[in-house]
Amino acid sequence: MCFIIHMTLASLTVMIISLTVYGDQTPCPTNGWFGPDCQYQCHCAESGICDKDNGSCSSGCHQDWFGPACQYARMGFTVLGNFSSGWLTDNKDRTCNRENLRSVTVTLDTPIPLTWLRVVVSDAVHLNTVKISYWNKSSTSRECPESYTAEITKFTADFSCLTDYPVTSLTLSDHGVNYLCSLIISAGLFITYTGGILAL
């Protein structure tokens, strides 16, 4: 199953490369679309310029999206506990846990079956020392596989964690949490094109 997820990432990359190769040079008439016939919708942060060929954004992705062309939806979540959690929810990888927290629990704004999660830490040594467990309202907690499935940068890794039922809450624990900066819960790949939405 990890394979399928990373095939999806790979096919997005292939799609972007082929767009780059076959795209013509004229800009799209409206900022906000990309691709050979300007048929794919961009998801840039406010006032960002969308690259006409590959969809990447000058200002980074809109907060609800992530990935190379901002085509992966991110699941919204609420951080539980009495501490200032802005560093986890501000969409910035350089603001991190400075409160010596050993675990962080979040509830998903809408329960979904999990696919994969992206974790960003401030100390590369601790990229693989984040333990992730999850549960729904009627179950006891279970653990995601311990190792990440893909290292995106020295500080960023993707953890594959597939469930076949909707999950309501997640807890991140272990040493890595001391260095935690960002958590992204993937809600799936959704490519909006002029003819509809392609959900992969």
- Contact set with ligand NAG (CB under 6 A): 16, 51, 53-54, 56, 68, 82, 136, 138-139, 165-166
N residues, the chain? 200
- CB 197 to ligand NAG: min, Å: 21
Task: Considering the complex, state which of residue 129 and residue 192 has its C-beta at the smaller distance from ligand NAG.
Answer: 192
Least distance between ligand NAG and beta carbon 199 (Å): 20
| DSSP3 helix / strand / coil % (the chain, rounded to 5) | 15, 35, 45
The neighbour count for residue 163, using CB atoms within 10 Å, is: 16
Backbone phi and psi for residue 11, each to the nearest 5 degrees, phi listed first: -70, -30
CB of 149 to ligand NAG, least distance (A): 20
CA gap 62, 42 in Å, rounded:
9
- Taking the complex as a whole, the smallest distance from the CB of residue 14 to ligand NAG amounts, in Å, to 12
Nearest residue to 190 (alpha-carbon basis) of 61, 63, 41, 28: 41
Residue 87's H or E segment, with its range, is helix 86-89
CB of 80 to ligand NAG, least distance (A): 12
Query: 44 vs 17, 50, 51, 57, 65, CA distance in Å?
Result: 19, 7, 10, 5, 8
Nearer to ligand NAG, 51 or 128 (CB): 51
Task: CB nearer to ligand NAG: give 22 or 165.
Answer: 165
| Cβ nearer to ligand NAG, comparing 47 with 138 | 138
The residue among 54 and 160 lying less far from ligand NAG, judged by its C-beta, is: 54
